């Protein structure tokens, strides 16, 4: 009996939660993600308080995502060659370090933007190995019939935390200071670590060519990276999805980095308002993730990606032009819905069409297109914001995302016609 056969396929909605190991993992992720979003909001507020510059907001965000661009393909090879549970235990433990260190530096009142950049880079380096490992680990905890449900629920955990974390961060900053957010985040990683320790299944066994272990050297590493890239390039539907993800990562998703500018200078709502703005985006994102998990089967996948991409672009444009706090919050909720609907459906399509032995590497390519390009996007949008203003920069980004999704409408419809996959 295989590890997957131990779990019957329940017909209930949110079926992945019936799998014990995934349920434990998911609860740990909810807690850890909440702390991560607290730190994200607090770090943005801290950087803007120190510099009053959207350029530095973009620079810090770029430093956090640059290592993903440089090292995530190697991270994918590692995820395919070592037990994923062991890999995640290491990455989650290392992720505690920058949060605790920043808390100490802030409490001692000696923190500088340069130190924040260096610490952000270190955390990004850890994420270069954590993201492909975590994404591909999902398929080892659940059966294939549960995979899309697990991906959507994992997205729900991440985006549910986007509601809870920023709101708590705004209240914590006002009541206890910025340092408290970083200490809470450091402690939150313990939940993810304990959850991984509690997982009983034999997940994470090494899968490589022929099922045998081979000594890893530069040649083997290069070959493994090339195999992942070649597979993505040969699967045109996967490659097209990744190109759209890259476009969103360059010009759309960086809006999150610049929310402190809107909260402080444009809408003038302070740290609590910043928390609720970020939380509004999280509300829409959570609704999208839960809806996809609840529906279970979405046959017109390309159509859903097209419509959700349109919603994201239009909502982002409205947010950039709005000067009303309530309208801005509502626009962010719709933008969050569009963004997560597109990403969750695209992610599941990619994973369902990828062989087990390549999944870590393919998800590392996905991380490269999604997170690795982010430093370029954050730096570029920060530069544009410095020249024309943050609100106009976000308007330009929204227009470019809309153009990309409109130009891709025919290709996305081909995915509907050509693919029998079901989300």
Q: How far apart are CA 206 and CA 225, in angstroms?
A: 16
Is 8 contained in some domain? no
Give pLDDT, residue 134.
86
Contact 74, 377 (CB under 8 A): no
Tokens standing for 59? 């620079």
Q: How far apart are CA 144 and CA 41, in angstroms?
A: 35
Closest-CA residue to 37 (of 152, 163, 171, 130)? 163
Give pLDDT, residue 299.
64
Q: How far apart are CA 285 and CA 69, in angstroms?
A: 25
> Which own/partner contact pairs does 229-237 have at CB distance under 8 Å and 24+ positions apart?
229/73, 229/365, 231/354, 231/358, 231/361, 231/362, 232/362, 232/365, 235/353, 237/349, 237/353, 237/414, 237/415, 237/418, 237/419
Q: How far apart are CA 248 and CA 88, in angstroms?
A: 27
Give pLDDT, residue 211.
42
Average pLDDT, the chain: 83
In this structure, the number of other CB atoms found within 10 A of the CB of residue 295 comes to 14
Q: How far apart are CA 80 and CA 368, in angstroms?
A: 16
Q: What is the pLDDT of residues 217-239, one digit of tens each?
A: 677 777 888 888 888 888 888 88
Q: How far apart are CA 64 and CA 378, in angstroms?
A: 10
Q: How far is CA 374 from the centre of its chain?
A: 11
Percent of the chain exceeding pLDDT 90 equals 31
| 267-293 average pLDDT score | 83
Q: How far is CA 304 from the centre of its chain?
A: 20
Question: Is pLDDT larger for residue 79 or for residue 311?
Answer: 311
pLDDT band at 145 (very low <50, low <70, confident <90, very high): low
Is 133 contained in some domain? yes
Q: How far apart are CA 239 and CA 233, in angstroms?
A: 6
Question: Is pLDDT larger for residue 144 or for residue 61?
Answer: 61
Tokens standing for 13? 């909605």
Hey, what's the torsion of the CAs at 24, 30, 36, 39, to 10 degrees?
-130
pLDDT at 348 over 70: yes
N residues, the chain: 423
Q: What is the number of domains present in the chain?
A: 1
Give pLDDT, residue 141.
83
Domain that holds residue 256: 15-200+215-418
Question: Is pLDDT larger for residue 56 or for residue 215?
Answer: 56
Is 4 contained in some domain? no
pLDDT at 346 over 80: yes
Give pLDDT, residue 44.
87
Closest-CA residue to 215 (of 71, 358, 81)? 81
Question: Is pLDDT larger for residue 279 or for residue 404?
Answer: 404
Is 256 contained in some domain? yes
pLDDT at 189 over 90: yes
pLDDT at 386 over 80: yes
Give pLDDT, residue 278.
79
Is 208 contained in some domain? no
Residue 53: strand, helix, or coil? coil
Q: How far apart are CA 319 and CA 336, in angstroms?
A: 12
Is 327 contained in some domain? yes
Contact 176, 372 (CB under 8 A): no
| 316-325 average pLDDT score | 94
Question: Is pLDDT larger for residue 1 or for residue 305?
Answer: 305
Is 184 contained in some domain? yes
CATH code of 321's domain: 1.20.1250.20
| Structure letter (DSSP) for residue 110 | -
Q: What is the pLDDT of residues 4-41, one digit of tens each?
A: 444 444 445 677 788 888 899 999 999 999 999 899 88
In this structure, the number of other CB atoms found within 10 A of the CB of residue 321 comes to 15
Lowest mean pLDDT among 58-67, 141-150, 200-209, 278-287: 200-209
Q: How far apart are CA 178 and CA 137, in angstroms?
A: 33
Is 209 contained in some domain? no
Residue 223: partners with Cβ closer than 8 Å, 6 or more residues away: none
Give pLDDT, residue 309.
92
Q: What is the pLDDT of residues 56-83, one digit of tens each?
A: 887 888 888 788 888 888 888 888 888 8
Tokens standing for 191? 């939940």
Contact 301, 244 (CB under 8 A): no
Question: Is pLDDT larger for residue 112 or for residue 236?
Answer: 112
Contact 96, 191 (CB under 8 A): no
Residue 202 burial class via C-beta count within 10 angstroms: exposed 0-12, middle 13-18, buried 19 and up: exposed
Give pLDDT, residue 1.
38
Closest-CA residue to 188 (of 38, 21, 17)? 38
Range with the largest mean pLDDT of 148-162, 296-310, 346-360, 379-393: 379-393
């Amino acid at each position: 009996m295989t590890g997957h056969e131990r779990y019957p396929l329940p017909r209930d909605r949110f079926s992945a939660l019936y799998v014990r190991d995934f349920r434990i993992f998911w609860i740990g992720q909810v807690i850890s993600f909440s702390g991560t979003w607290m730190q994200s909001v607090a770090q943005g507020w801290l950087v803007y308080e120190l510099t009053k510059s959207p350029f530095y907001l973009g620079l810090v965000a770029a430093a956090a995502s640059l290592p993903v661009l440089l090292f995530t393909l190697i991270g994918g090879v590692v995820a395919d060659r070592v037990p994923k549970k062991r890999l995640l235990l290491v990455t989650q433990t290392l992720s505690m370090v920058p949060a605790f260190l920043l808390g100490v530096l802030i409490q001692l009142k000696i923190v500088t933007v340069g130190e924040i950049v260096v610490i952000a880079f270190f955390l990004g380096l850890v994420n270069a190995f954590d993201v492909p490992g975590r994404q591909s680990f999902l398929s080892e905890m659940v059966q294939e019939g549960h995979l899309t449900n697990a991906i959507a629920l994992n997205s729900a955990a991440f985006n549910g935390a986007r509601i809870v974390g920023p709101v708590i961060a705004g209240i914590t900053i006002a009541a206890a200071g910025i340092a408290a957010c970083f200490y809470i985040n450091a402690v939150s990683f313990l939940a993810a670590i304990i959850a991984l320790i509690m997982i009983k299944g034999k997940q994470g066994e090494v899968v490589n060519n022929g099922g045998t272990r081979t000594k890893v050297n530069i040649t083997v590493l290069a070959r493994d990276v090339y195999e992942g890239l070649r597979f993505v390039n040969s699967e045109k539907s996967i490659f097209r999805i990744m190109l759209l993800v890259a476009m969103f990562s360059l010009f759309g998703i960086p809006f999150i980095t610049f929310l402190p500018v809107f909260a402080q200078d444009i809408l003038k709502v302070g740290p609590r308002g910043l928390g609720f703005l970020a939380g509004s985006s999280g509300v829409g994102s959570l609704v999208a993730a839960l809806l996809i998990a609840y529906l279970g089967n979405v046959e017109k996948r390309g159509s859903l990606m097209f419509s959700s991409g349109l919603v994201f672009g239009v909502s982002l444009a409205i947010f950039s032009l709005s000067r009303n706090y309530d309208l801005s919050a509502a626009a962010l909720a719709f933008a969050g819905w569009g963004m997560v609907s597109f990403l969750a459906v695209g992610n599941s399509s990619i994973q369902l069409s990828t062989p087990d032995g390549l999944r870590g590497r393919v998800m590392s390519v996905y991380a490269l297109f999604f997170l690795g390009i982010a430093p370029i996007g954050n730096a570029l949008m920060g530069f544009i914001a410095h020249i024309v203003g943050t609100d106009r920069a976000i308007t330009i980004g929204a227009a470019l995302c809309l153009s990309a999704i409109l130009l891709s409408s025919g290709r996305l419809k081909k995915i509907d016609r050509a693919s029998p996959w079901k989300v």
